[in-house]
Amino acid sequence: MAAESLNLKITGKSHVKAKKNIGRKEYQLVTFDLPYLAFYYNQKLLFYKGNDFKGMVEKVKEGLSVVLEEFHQLAGKIGKDEEGVFRVEYDDEMEGVEVTEAVAEDVGVEDLAVSESSSSLMELVPYNGILNLEGMHRPLLAIQLTKLKDGLAMGCAFNHAVLDGTSTWQFMSSWAEICSGAPSTVAPPFLDRTKARNTRVKLDLSLPEPNGLPSENEEKPKPKLREKIFKFSESAIDKIKSTVNENPPSDGSKAFSTFQALSAHVWRHITLARNLKPEDYTVFTVFVDCRKRIDPPMPEAYFGNLIQAIFTVTAGGLLLAHPPQFGASLIQKAIEAHNAKAIDERNKEWESAPKIFEFKDAGVNCVAVGSSPRFKVYDIDFGWGKPENVRSGTNNKFDGMIYLYPGKSGGRSIDVELTLDPHAMEILEKDKDFLLEV
């Protein structure tokens, strides 16, 4: 599909609040949350087939008012306490979650399931280019429901200073189960962030003056990047994994996981496509879920950010001159070294000199993975079937950023959603060893 407009019309805006009164609540943001204040809202886009748009919208909104009782933080705002420590604030008078309704009836679900992302897809997701810090003045969750020729596009924007991917998909699962009447499989959110880290960090952060930030409609001059989804079948994933595990290392280390094998595969082929000099460094970054890594461990249902970025670096020439085990081993060692002690040290270092991440800080010639194929995104069924397609919006994407999703066909298949410089992308698309085409 070309980048032409979808001819989308906004037909209404409303706000959804929790069904029951909850009262005033305050939740301190902790060291795992704060670095993301200068990231953008995290955007997810799901497409569903169906003809009863009005009924679907009513059901989604009704279920939202119920799920917001437990997940009421998403109906709150970011604020600061009297000492300048950021927190999530909720009270029943707040406006709640923003829901926009729109129509793009010339476009079908299949038209939007294309592998290449385009500017028109971005019209389906709210809060393009909106910083998390702006959650002081606007909802922490915004949803856009767009009527398509034969279905519904659901675009969601979550404030990333308030929650990570694990919490995002737990919320989505709970919401869908309420709407479809399915028995709940999701534990209630565990809301006390200070159990994970109880350091009070004061940040002197305020929003730039309104004229200092480009508005939503004023495009910042960004380098032109391409976004594309590469679908790896179950057999391709098995081949990548078995290849990297062919000659087990003599030092007795564990076999490489699917994630480590696929990450090394993607890192090598992107490095090849970038045509680096042998001595150029390349950084591999992965955002690791720390719920079970910290001491004491936190429940899976911990609501908030409990991720940290870990990095490993090597020279491009070394990565390519060695077999795939070399890259996989670097990634494996970095992940395994990230234990409770390493997490604690990273937090202490950050707390002593807080540094707000910006996405361009990811590293030189970076490949960064920011989502997990363990998230069961194709099980998000609101009562009219599973999504036809799931992808991320354009926020928080830069050259080398990857989101991994389970493949729609299930099993061990994985979708690799990749943002890359157009020249490198062109080379990668022709790389038969990357796509494992027969």
Catalytic residues: 160, 381
Burial bucket for residue 163 (CB in 10 Å: 0-12, 13-18, 19+): buried
CA-CA distance, 153 to 50, in Å (whole number)? 10
CA 172 to chain centre: 13
CB 89 within 8 A of CB 79: yes
CB 350 within 8 A of CB 283: no
DSSP E strands, 269-315: 281-289, 307-315
For residue 81, what are the CA distances in angstroms to 89, 156, 200? 9, 28, 11
To 10 degrees, what angle do helices 165-180 and 53-70 make?
120
Cis amide linkage into residue 323, ω under 30° from 0: no
CA-CA distance, 155 to 138, in Å (whole number)? 17
CA-CA distance, 414 to 236, in Å (whole number)? 9
Exposure pattern of 352-372 as b/e (b: 16+ CB <10 Å)? eeeeeeebeebbebbbbbbbb
The token duo for 86 is 């950021």
Angle, alpha carbons 300-305-307 (nearest 5°): 85
